[in-house]
C-alpha cells in the first residue's frame, strides 16, 4: 500500500521530537539495549518470528526485494545485527561487497558465523552508527532494517546521507507508529503480550525482560510512515518513496535517493 509523504513535520519539530526521545530513552539506549543485544543473538531470528506471529520472514523478504543492486556495488548495512539482510543481498547479487556496521560485537559475531555457513563474506565494523567511520560518498546503497526506533535519527540519518554516493539509494524498514490511533492502541497491547511470551519461550536474560516496556514505548514515541517520509526529505534525500506492509503501517518500507 503506497501513501502520500505529506506531513506537518518541520526541521524544528523534528529536532524537538528527537530531543524528547533522547530525554526519554538516552539511559536505555546506552545501558539497557546493549545488554539486550548481548543476550538475543542466539534466538534473534526465531524470537522475531514468534513475536510477529510468523510475519518476520515476510517483512525481511519484502525489504530485500525492494533493494536494487548492480554488480560491483558497495553496500553498507547499518545496524546489521546478525547479518540477515547482508546475507540475503549477497545471495540476490553475489557480485557486490557488503560492509556491516553495528555497535554490538555479540550480534556481529553471530552474523559472521551465519555468513560463513552460507559461504559468504561480509566486512564487519564495530562502531556507534551516529558517527559512521567512513569517508563521504563511499557507498552505492545503504540499508537500515529493524533498528531506527532505537537510534537518534537527527544524528544517524545525516551520517547515512553523508557516506552515500551521489545518486545512491538508502533503503529503510522498521516497525513504525501506525497512523491510525486505534491500530496503535491494539498494536502496543499486542506487543506487550508477544514480547513477554517470546522472553518466556526463549529464556531471555533479566536485562532483556526488563527492557520489554521500552520496546513498546519506543514505538509509541516514534514516527508514522508518512512522518518518516517527510524527515527523509528534510535530511536532503529526493525521490522519497514509502510503502506500508500489512497491519496499517505497523511496518513501513522506505527508499530515498541522494541527489547527484
- Mean pLDDT (whole number) for 146-158: 96
Mean pLDDT confidence for 2-27: 82
The reported pTM is 0.92
2, part of any domain = no
| In-domain check, residue 1 | no
Q: Within a domain: residue 6?
A: no
Model confidence at 4, pLDDT cuts 50, 70, 90, reads: very low
User: Regarding predicted confidence, which is higher, 238 or 54?
Assistant: 238
% of residues, the chain, pLDDT over 70: 94
Q: Kindly tell me if the per-residue pLDDT of 225 is higher than 70.
A: yes
Look at residue 185 and tell me if it is in a domain: yes
Question: What rounded mean pLDDT belongs to the chain?
Answer: 89
Residue 195 pLDDT > 60, yes or no?
yes
Residue 35 lies in a domain: yes
% of the chain surpassing 90 pLDDT? 64
Give how far Cα 206 sits from Cα of 12, 80, 202, 209, 212, Å: 38, 24, 12, 5, 10
Distance CA 188, CA 168 (A): 35
Res. 255 pLDDT band, cuts 50 70 90 = very high
Residue 43 is predicted with a pLDDT of: 77
pLDDT band with cut points at 50, 70 and 90 for residue 36: confident
23 belongs to a structural domain: yes
Burial class (CB in 10 A: 0-12, 13-18, 19+), 136: exposed
Among the listed ranges 41-50, 116-125, 136-145, 212-221, which one has the minimum average pLDDT value?
41-50
Asked whether the predicted pLDDT for residue 123 surpasses 50, the reply is: yes
In a domain, 191, yes or no: yes
Query: In the structure, what pLDDT confidence band is assigned to residue 7 with cuts at 50, 70 and 90?
Result: low
Residue 5: alpha-carbon gap to chain centroid: 19
Question: Residue 233 has what pLDDT?
Answer: 96
Domain assignment of residue 3, yes or no: no
Distance between start and end Cα atoms, the chain: 28
- Give, in order, the Cα–Cα distances in Å from 141 to each of 45, 74, 189: 24, 7, 36
- Decide if pLDDT at 8 tops 60: yes
Of 61-65, 195-199, 237-241, the range with the lowest mean pLDDT is 195-199
Domain that holds residue 77: 11-257
CATH number of the domain bearing residue 63:
3.40.50.150
Are 132 and 159 in contact, with CB atoms under 8 Å apart?
yes
| Segment 194-200 mean pLDDT | 77
The residue to which cell 524470537 is assigned: 47
Lowest mean pLDDT among 39-53, 79-93, 102-116, 239-253: 39-53
pLDDT at 213 over 80: yes
Number of domains in the chain: 1
Amino acid at each position: 500500500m503506497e501513501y502520500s509523504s505529506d506531513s506537518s513535520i518541520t526541521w524544528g519539530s523534528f529536532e524537538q521530537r528527537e530531543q524528547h526521545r533522547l530525554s526519554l530513552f538516552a539511559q536505555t539506549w546506552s545501558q539497557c539495549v546493549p545488554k539486550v543485544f548481548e543476550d538475543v543473538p542466539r534466538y534473534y531470528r526465531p524470537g522475531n518470528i514468534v513475536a510477529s506471529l510468523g510475519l518476520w520472514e515476510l517483512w525481511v523478504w519484502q525489504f530485500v526485494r525492494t533493494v536494487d543492486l548492480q554488480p560491483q556495488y558497495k553496500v553498507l548495512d547499518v545496524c546489521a545485527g546478525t547479518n540477515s539482510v547482508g546475507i540475503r543481498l549477497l545471495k540476490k547479487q553475489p557480485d557486490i561487497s557488503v560492509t556491516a556496521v553495528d555497535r554490538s560485537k555479540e550480534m556481529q559475531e553471530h552474523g559472521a558465523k551465519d555468513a560463513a555457513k552460507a559461504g559468504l563474506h561480509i566486512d564487519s565494523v564495530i562502531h556507534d552508527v551516529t558517527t559512521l567511520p567512513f569517508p563521504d560518498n563511499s557507498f552505492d546503497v545503504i540499508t537500515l532494517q529493524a533498528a531506527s526506533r532505537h537510534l537518534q535519527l537527527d544524528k544517524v540519518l545525516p551520517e547515512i546521507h553523508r557516506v552515500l554516493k551521489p545518486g545512491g539509494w538508502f533503503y529503510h524498514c522498521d516497525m513504525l507508529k501506525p497512523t491510525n490511533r486505534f491500530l496503535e492502541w491494539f498494536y502496543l497491547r499486542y506487543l506487550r503480550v508477544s514480547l513477554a511470551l517470546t522472553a518466556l519461550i526463549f529464556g531471555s536474560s533479566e536485562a532483556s525482560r526488563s527492557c520489554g516496556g521500552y520496546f513498546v514505548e519506543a514505538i509509541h514515541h516514534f514516527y508514522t510512515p508518512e512522518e518518516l517520509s517527510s524527515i527523509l526529505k528534510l535530511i536532503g534525500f529526493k525521490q522519497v518513496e514509502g510503502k506500508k506492509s500489512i497491519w496499517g503501517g505497523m511496518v513501513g518500507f522506505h527508499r530515498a535517493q541522494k541527489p547527484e
